[in-house]
Chain A
Amino acid sequence: EAGVTQFPSHSVIEKGQTVTLRCDPISGHDNLYWYRRVMGKEIKFLLHFVKESKQDESGMPNNRFLAERTGGTYSTLKVQPAELEDSGVYFCASSPFATGELFFGEGSRLTVL
């Protein structure tokens, strides 16, 4: 069974540009989460989808971040326009139930210059 896959693995963009990160969860997992780790600090929750609906987006830092989950399958996280402080590793995770046992992707490293 395929795990959680994220694309791209690394993106380097200039301040003011737009980047879209994609996450394909494990098939059948209704719960999808986005997390972010900035500069070796703690991993922070961004938002939670249940199927195609946003259940909690309280961790989104500001309105430059937009997440969608098409048809309850894959998800995208768009940053527009990107700022220097957005640099970090963006992790996607999925789970069949909201129990805290998450299956993570390898992460997408974003570098904003």
Chain B
Amino acid sequence: GNSVTQMEGPVTLSEEAFLTINCTYTATGYPSLFWYVQYPGEGLQLLLKATKADDKGSNKGFEATYRKETTSFHLEKGSVQVSDSAVYFCALPRGAGGTSYGKLTFGQGTILTVHP
């Protein structure tokens, strides 16, 4: 099945710093890729996604580009805020084929803490 390797962290930054969280994957074909975020006391929620190579997903100032040549989907934000403190998970479908959608393989999660 598909797999994902995610930068573990934790990551601690000052407000307005640049953020990169690395994510690389191994997959059959070219599946959709996802970043989920879990804010304190909440469930995971979809942050952004990309459905094909060279697609850029973006949301809330975060971006990630689907790079098939490097099998990567790194998460970036130019200027983080205290409210971005959360756990970030990279994910992709467990296997090939449409029936795998919704059944995801997740990275280990990266804890981000942003200080004022």
Contacts and interface: CB of A to CB of B under 8 A. Distances in A.
Contacts of A105: 43
A84 B32 CA distance: 35
B73 interface: no
A33 B103 contact: yes
A95 B42 CA distance: 17
Contacts of B13: none
B102 A31 contact: yes
Interface string B37-74: 01001111110010000000000000000000000000
Counting contact residues on chain A (CB < 8 A from B), the size range is 20 to 34
A110 to B, nearest CB: 16
B113 to A, nearest CB: 15
A35 B98 CA distance: 19
Interface string B101-113: 1111111110000
Given A42-B108, A45-B94, A100-B49, A33 B43 contact: no
A68 to B, nearest CB: 19
Interface of A: 3-4, 31, 33, 35, 40-45, 48, 55-56, 59, 91, 93, 95, 97-107
Given A99-B32, A101-B34, 14 more contacts: A42-B106, A43-B44, A45-B103, A45-B104, A95-B102, A98-B102, A99-B102, A100-B91, A102-B44, A102-B102, A102-B104, A104-B45, A106-B42, A107-B43
